[in-house]
């Protein structure tokens, strides 16, 4: 039995992980945590709670793994920097090993998600797999020959920051026209907002109003299912932008499988069928995540297998 | 001692290769060859000539390697298809092994060039390296953890066909805005032609006239060295287009080194210094090829080491 810990900018989870099966999942909020100490205490408290609720003893846990956003140093198990989280060279490996006496591994969240899908999810049994996680940004995790491609300073796989539109929009990373400026859920929501302004009494606007004026990753898909023409146009545009970056990944890596994760991946075939059509003939399977929200948590728990 | 064979659309070479040292290089034309038989005979004749000129015996050759453009099947040593060459599922491995009784390996030319630089050139001693070859198109060879990344159907590393300009020009591959439409030597020459039309009495036009009206990969650099302002603008533009694709490669792979090959790489620091400035701070070394025109030939000869 292993423990997986998945830390994000709004919440974190810790759970017992046995293969692809997750139990006693404990969740805590991380949004609003201002200091490194507050974050560390939240992690400790959540893992303490996991032990208490499950009644499992430390000796039954073979290893722990932790996935964190942002820059990481996997050799020392350190979270270097992360946009929304108060980490600054926080050595979670040492902190957790000292507290629990269980060997602990750390990697970034996108690598953990890819590792989870590769180990026990949709990519099980393959050698080469690339996973892209569609969210506010676009993350990437690359598995080659059964190993996570870490690259220098564990910064490989920044697939959201490949420039696809040299005359496009500025990305927060500083470059112009990164894939995530056109294909992230945030980019999609921003296009929905524009079109709702332009067509204020259409179905898309209704969906937004019904959601209390909020636009999220599901808005477009709800309007699409109601047959909204504006949503159909936006969706076609989105799928095309998605396909451009995916085709670039295929040109570079030619993996056996490309897995799409993140909230949007729950749309399944609504997303996959038109996407596969645009991708065209290829020996690479295009799939959505099998482990969904738990890919990162499960992959983190199994990190010991990645560092052999 | 090994034999390397490098087949291109205009000529081919075969030579003895000992580490990074090449001797008894034999060249033959391939432009104009219309049939598979004619090409095979040219290869045989060139290798026969190599044996005759060098006086070496077959028993002194431990292995042969052959680099070919286009699609390949490395398991069977087959050249499947190549734009300018009359190959069609031509199984060079079997043909050469049957004729010479020497174990033979085959890979595509960009992979051979990368393997050469990695094994005995500028990338010697590294684990991860990416090479881009700037010519009529842009080829790519990727080394990860000491192995060539082949991908499905040996089609990984098509770095010239990463889309960087979704609103750009159509590429012969069918996509729009591929990197090679803006950063290949052909793209550079096409911009030079445009500017010579616009500024017919400038230094750039002089350089073209002195070259019999022909524009090639050196034209821009000659005008640049003469202080031509148009050439300076074009060069700035070219270096920026080059940097976009290279930065994308760094985001995806974060290799220890990125090597630039192809004719343009001979410009050395003229190319490298402004390019490194645009790339900015990175743990990845940006270098030009050390083996120059012989990278592919040397890498082909050393292919036996790549398939272990």
pLDDT of residue A308: 64
A61, A97 contact by CB (below 8 A): no
Asked if A163 lies within 8 A of B159 by C-beta distance, the reply is no
Asked if B166 lies within 8 A of A162 by C-beta distance, the reply is no
Residue of B nearest to A176 (CA): B244
Indicate the length of chain A as a whole number: 308
Specify the DSSP class assigned to residue A118: H
Determine which of A152, A158, A183, A284 to mutate to test the interface with B (most B C-beta atoms within 10 Å): A152
Q: Which residues of B fall within a CB distance of 8 Å from A252?
A: 140, 142, 156-159, 162, 249, 252-253
Q: Which residue's entry shows tokens 């799928």?
A: A239
Beta strands, E only, chain A: 2-7, 11-18, 21-29, 63-68, 71-73, 78-82, 85-90, 104-108, 129-134, 138-144, 147-148, 257-261, 285-288
Is the pLDDT confidence value at B307 over 90?
A: no
What does the pLDDT look like over B122-140, one tens digit per residue? 999 999 999 999 998 999 9
The continuous run of DSSP H or E covering A298 comes out as helix A295-301
User: Looking at CA atoms only, how far is residue A223 from chain B in angstroms?
Assistant: 27
Q: Which residues of B fall within a CB distance of 8 Å from A284?
A: 152
Considering chain A, what percentage of its residues have pLDDT values greater than 70? 100
User: Looking at CA atoms only, how far is residue A127 from chain B in angstroms?
Assistant: 10
Is the pLDDT confidence value at B192 over 80?
A: yes
Full DSSP string of A164-221? SBTTSPBPTTS-BSBTHHHHSHHHHHHHHHHHHHHSTTSHHHHHHHHTTT---TTHHH
Q: Write the CA distances from B218 to B241, B243, B265, integer angstroms.
A: 18, 19, 11
In the three-class reduction of DSSP (H, G, I as helix; E, B as strand; rest coil), residue A12 is classed as: strand
User: Looking at CA atoms only, how far is residue A157 from chain B in angstroms?
Assistant: 5
User: Looking at CA atoms only, how far is residue B144 from chain A in angstroms?
Assistant: 8
Residue of A nearest to B139 (CA): A252
pLDDT of residue A83: 80
Residues 6+ apart with CB under 8 A from A74: A105, A106, A107, A150, A154, A307
pLDDT of residue A230: 96
- In what side-by-side order are the strands of the sheet with A138-144? A147-148, A138-144, A129-134, A257-261, A285-288
- Of the listed ranges A152-156, B83-87, B270-274, B288-292, the one predicted with least confidence: B83-87
| Over residues B92-115, mean pLDDT | 98
Is the pLDDT confidence value at B308 over 80?
A: no
pLDDT of residue A77: 97
What rounded mean pLDDT belongs to chain B? 96
Residues of chain A where predicted confidence (pLDDT) is lower than 50: none
- Number of A/B CB contacts below 8 angstroms equals 107
Asked if B251 lies within 8 A of A165 by C-beta distance, the reply is no
pLDDT band at B84 (very low <50, low <70, confident <90, very high): confident
Asked if B244 lies within 8 A of A163 by C-beta distance, the reply is yes
B245, B179 contact by CB (below 8 A): yes
**Nearest by CB to A252, which of B167, B252, B284?**
B252
**Nearest by CB to A254, which of B155, B165, B251?**
B155
**Nearest by CB to A151, which of B128, B162, B163?**
B128
A302, A67 contact by CB (below 8 A): no
Q: Which residue's entry shows tokens 């760094």?
A: B250
Full DSSP string of B113-180? HHHHHHHHSTTTT-S-EEEEEESSSEEEEEEETTEE---GGG-TT-GGG-BSBTTSPBPTTS-BSBTH
A225, A253 contact by CB (below 8 A): no
Asked if B252 lies within 8 A of A249 by C-beta distance, the reply is yes
Tell me phi and psi for residue A107, to 5 degrees. Answer: -155, 170
- In what side-by-side order are the strands of the sheet with B71-73? B71-73, B78-82, B85-90
Q: Is A61 left (phi over 0), alpha (psi -120 to 50) or beta?
A: beta
User: Looking at CA atoms only, how far is residue A220 from chain B in angstroms?
Assistant: 23
Burial class (CB in 10 A: 0-12, 13-18, 19+), A174: exposed
**Nearest by CB to A152, which of B159, B168, B254?**
B254
What does the pLDDT look like over A119-137, one tens digit per residue? 999 999 999 999 999 998 9
**Burial profile B100-132: b = 16 or more Cβ within 10 angstroms, e = fewer:** bebebbbbbbbbbbbbbbbbbbbbeebebbbbb
What does the pLDDT look like over B12-31, one tens digit per residue? 999 999 999 999 999 999 99
| Chain B residues within 8 Å of chain A (Cβ atoms) | 128, 140, 142, 144-145, 147, 149-153, 155-159, 161-168, 175, 177, 182, 241, 244, 247-249, 251-256, 282-284
List the alpha helices (DSSP H) in chain B: 36-54, 92-100, 109-120, 180-183, 185-198, 203-210, 219-225, 229-253, 269-279, 295-301, 303-306
């Amino acid at each position: 039995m292993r423990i997986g810990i998945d830390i994000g900018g709004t919440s974190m989870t810790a759970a017992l992980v046995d293969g692809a099966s997750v139990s006693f999942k404990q969740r805590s909020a991380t949004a609003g945590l201002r200091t490194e100490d507050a974050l560390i205490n939240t992690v400790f408290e959540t893992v303490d709670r996991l032990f208490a609720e499950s009644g499992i003893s430390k000796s039954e846990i073979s290893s722990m793994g932790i996935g964190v956003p942002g820059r990481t140093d996997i050799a020392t198990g350190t979270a270097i920097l992360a946009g929304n989280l108060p980490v600054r060279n926080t050595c979670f490996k040492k902190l957790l090993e000292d507290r629990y006496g269980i060997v602990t591994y750390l990697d970034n969240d996108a690598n953990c998600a890819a590792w989870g899908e590769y180990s026990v999810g949709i990519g099980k049994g393959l050698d080469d797999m690339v996973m892209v996680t569609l969210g506010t940004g676009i993350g990437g995790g690359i598995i080659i020959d059964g190993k996570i491609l870490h690259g220098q300073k564990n910064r490989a796989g920044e697939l959201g920051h490949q420039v696809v539109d040299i005359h496009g929009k500025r990305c927060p990373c500083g470059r112009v026209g990164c894939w995530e400026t056109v294909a992230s859920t945030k980019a999609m929501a921003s296009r929905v907002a524009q079109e709702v302004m332009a067509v204020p009494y259409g179905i898309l606007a209704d969906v937004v109003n019904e959601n209390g004026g909020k636009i999220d990753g599901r808005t477009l898909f709800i309007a699409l299912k109601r047959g909204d023409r504006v949503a159909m146009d936006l969706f076609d545009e989105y799928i095309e932008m998605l396909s451009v970056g995916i085709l670039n990944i295929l040109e570079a890596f030619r993996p056996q499988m490309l897995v799409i994760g993140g909230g949007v991946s729950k749309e399944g075939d609504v997303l996959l069928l038109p996407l596969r059509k645009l991708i065209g003939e290829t020996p690479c399977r295009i799939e959505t995540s099998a482990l969904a929200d738990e890919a990162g948590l499960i992959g983190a728990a199994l990190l010991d297998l990645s560092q052999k």
